[in-house]
Amino acid sequence: MKLLRRMNKSNNMKNSGFTLVELVIVMAIMGILGLAVVGFIGTSTKQYKYASKDVDLQYEAQLTMNQIGDLIIDAQKGVKYEPATVAAPVEVASAAPEAGYIATASAEEASSEEASSEETSSDSKLIIYNKDCTYNIIYRPSEHKIYLRKDTLDPATGAVKADGQGKESLMAENVTGFTPDLSEAESKNSVGIVVDFKAGDKKYTSKQNFTMRNKVPTGADVEYVAPAEPKGIRIYYKGKDVTNGTVYYEMKKTNNNLKFTDKILGGKYDSKNVTWDHSGNKNGGNFNANGDVYDVQLMSDETTDQLVITVTSIDDPSLTAKVTVNIAHPINILHCDADKHFDLGQTHQLFIDEGELKKSSLNGKYQIKDFVWHMEVESVSSTGATEYKGDISFKMGDDGKLIYGPDGNGEPDGIFKFSSKEIAGETGAEGHEDDPKYRNYLNYHIVDGNQNEKMHITLGKNFFVGEKLNISVWLGLEEESGFKSNTITFYTYY
């Protein structure tokens, strides 16, 4: 029995572990699985790179089309296409297609004689003409790139200024074709663009039509046309053409100065060789002519309500123009604590001058709380033209609250905000520094006190950012619809 147990134990020891054959089989299986995993990863990586190239080309195509489209849509004077005047570079198969571009022969190799001429080029160009500049979209096949260059023009001649040619900036790469289509420009006011892209063995073509806002000439023969300048003599006030028009002026207590200038169009006569004249004033003043400038300084007690100013060319008396100045005489009871420039986040204080009120024809008829406050906002363009943005009217209640809405608060026209607290600081209403509803508004507040005569207004830090604004404040009366106090106008620009 003992002998049998020893034999079984010896056999079990001999049967433990792996044989050489088993190890070889396991290693072979692991090798096959390893190769399969490596192959799977390699295939996935190639598929990812392939898909990534496709996405990159589509993104570049869309970005390029957006840039070109914005320029075409806003064309002001014309769109011209100049195709290449020599053969495009000859493409040669690359020894390493994965490197990106395919190799090309140079334009000189393609056509050495033509390429030596300054008037020949393998580049094609789409030119967008605007009033004072051109945008040149240049396709350079030798580099597989599209460039953008902005040239500044002389408005009188349409020629590029001596220092007006801009630098080329890269607009797109991986480009193998650029084809503008102007066939529907006349009938549909539309320009088509086809751009071909290629990176490695991946290709993508983008096609799009752009409709222009303005009806402009297009084609290979389009040339810049300088705007026709009207002939005659013109009068300007604050940079705005007011010829044969009307200027409204509100008399102030001091410094009632107006300045007019003239310009004779057509270049035939000198704008300084003119005579100025006026009619209508009653109490004198200073009317000083100095060539093409006419300075007018009215006396503070001037009572006339209209002036007519004329200018006449000495070289050609038939060239004459006039402007009518309507003068308002408000009661000067509204005052401001500082200059009239207004920065975002800044606060100004306005008040009713009781002394001036007592000296006026309104003495004893009305109290300060009876006046209606008016505020109006308008934007100012680069030419001086104004555009209405919004206005508000409000008055004081017996308790010093504004009469607007059930709780004295509101935001009429979406740009004004009344604060129940005094407004101050850079963000609008005190205690609401982080509240965007005050940062985006023109905030106003009547200061509590015995007389309740003061108003604070603050421009929110984000109020109409980027726009030039006029903010005008004046007083009225409900009982006298024709009454209007002097106007205080704040400017958000210098």
pLDDT in tens, 349-408: 888 888 888 888 888 788 887 888 888 999 888 777 788 888 888 876 655 555 544 444
Q: How many residues belong to the chain?
A: 494
Q: What pLDDT shows up at residue 94? A: 36
Q: pLDDT band for 184, please (50, 70, 90 cuts).
A: confident
Tell me: the pLDDT tens digits for 205-256? 999 999 888 887 776 555 555 555 567 899 999 888 899 999 989 888 788 9
Q: Are residues 440 and 354 in the same domain?
A: yes
Q: Is the pLDDT of residue 109 over 50?
A: no
Do 211 and 99 belong to one domain? yes
Q: Which residues pair with 78 in a beta bridge?
A: 129
pLDDT of residue 277: 95
Dihedral over Cα of 327, 311, 236, 258: its sign: negative
Residue 131 in any domain: the answer is yes
What order do you get walking across the sheet with 468-477 strand by strand? 386-395, 371-380, 468-477, 488-491
CB contact set of 282 (below 8 Å; sequence gap of 6+)? 302, 303, 304
| pLDDT at residue number 398 | 53
pLDDT of residue 104: 38
Q: Within this chain, do residues 409 and 381 fall inside the same structural domain, yes or no?
A: yes
For residue 107, is pLDDT > 50? Answer: no
Residue 286: pLDDT above 70?
yes
pLDDT in tens, 160-173: 887 888 899 999 99
The whole-number pLDDT of residue 36 equals 78
Domain membership flag for residue 279? yes
Q: Are residues 367 and 483 in the same domain?
A: yes
- In terms of pLDDT, which residue wins out, 292 or 381? 292
pLDDT over threshold 50, residue 127: yes
Whole domain around residue 405: which residue ranges?
A: 334-491
Task: Give me 264's structure tokens.
Answer: 């004779």
Q: Are residues 209 and 244 in the same domain?
A: no
Domain boundary among 298, 328, 358: 328
Is residue 363 domain-resident?
A: yes
Per-residue confidence at 105, pLDDT binned at 50, 70, 90? Answer: very low
Residue 435 has pLDDT above 90, yes or no: no
Residue pLDDT, tens place only, 316-326: 999 999 999 99
CATH number at 324 reads 2.60.40.10
Alpha helices in 362-440 (DSSP H): 436-439
Q: Is the pLDDT of residue 465 over 90?
A: no
Stretch 455-475: mean pLDDT: 85
- pLDDT tens for 5-38 read 555 555 555 555 678 888 888 888 888 888 877 7
pLDDT at 57 over 50: yes
What whole-number distance in Å separates Cα of residue 344 and Cα of residue 457?
11
Neighbouring residues of 297: CB distance < 8 A, sequence distance ≥ 6: 256, 257, 258, 285, 286, 287, 288
pLDDT, averaged across the chain: 78
How many Å apart are CA 96 and CA 200, to the nearest integer?
9
Residues 27 and 20 sit within 8 Å (Cβ to Cβ): no
pLDDT band at 448; cut points 50, 70, 90:
low
CATH number, domain with residue 475: 2.60.40
How sure is the predictor about 185, in pLDDT bands with cuts at 50, 70 and 90? confident
Question: Is residue 178 predicted with pLDDT exceeding 90?
Answer: yes
- Among 283, 306, 328, the domain boundary falls at 328
Question: Confidence band (pLDDT; 50, 70, 90) for 291?
Answer: very high
User: Which H helix or E strand runs over 57?
Assistant: helix 20-73
Is residue 29 in some structural domain?
A: no
Helix/strand/coil percent split, the chain, to 5:
20, 40, 40
Q: What's the pLDDT score for residue 357?
A: 85
What is the C-alpha to C-alpha distance for residues 256 and 298, in angstroms, rounded to an integer?
A: 5
Which of 261-275, 292-306, 314-328, 444-458 is predicted least confidently?
Answer: 444-458
Task: Please tell me whether residues 346 and 321 are part of one structural domain.
Answer: no
Tell me, yes or no, whether 362 and 487 share the same domain. Answer: yes
Query: Does 259 lie in the same domain as 314?
Result: yes
pLDDT value, residue 119: 52
Give 430's pLDDT tier (boundaries 50, 70, 90): low
Residue 48 has a pLDDT of 52
- 212 and 241 share one domain: no
- 65/151 same-domain check: yes
Query: Dihedral of CA 337/343/346/352: which sign?
Result: positive
Q: Is the pLDDT of residue 96 over 50?
A: no
**pLDDT in the model for residue 388:** 85
Residue 266: per-residue pLDDT = 77
Q: Is the dihedral angle over the CA atoms 16, 20, 26, 27 positive or is it negative? A: positive
**pLDDT of res. 59:** 86
The fraction of the chain above a pLDDT of 90, given in percent, is 26
DSSP-based three-state secondary structure for 25: helix
The whole-number pLDDT of residue 23 equals: 82
- Give the domain-ending residue among 286, 302, 328: 328
Task: Tell me which residue of 265, 255, 245, 253 sits closest to 309, measured CA to CA.
Answer: 245
Tell me which H or E stretch contains 15. helix 2-15
The number of folded domains in the chain is: 3
Mean pLDDT of the region 460-485: 87
Distance of CA 153 to the CA centre of its chain: 21
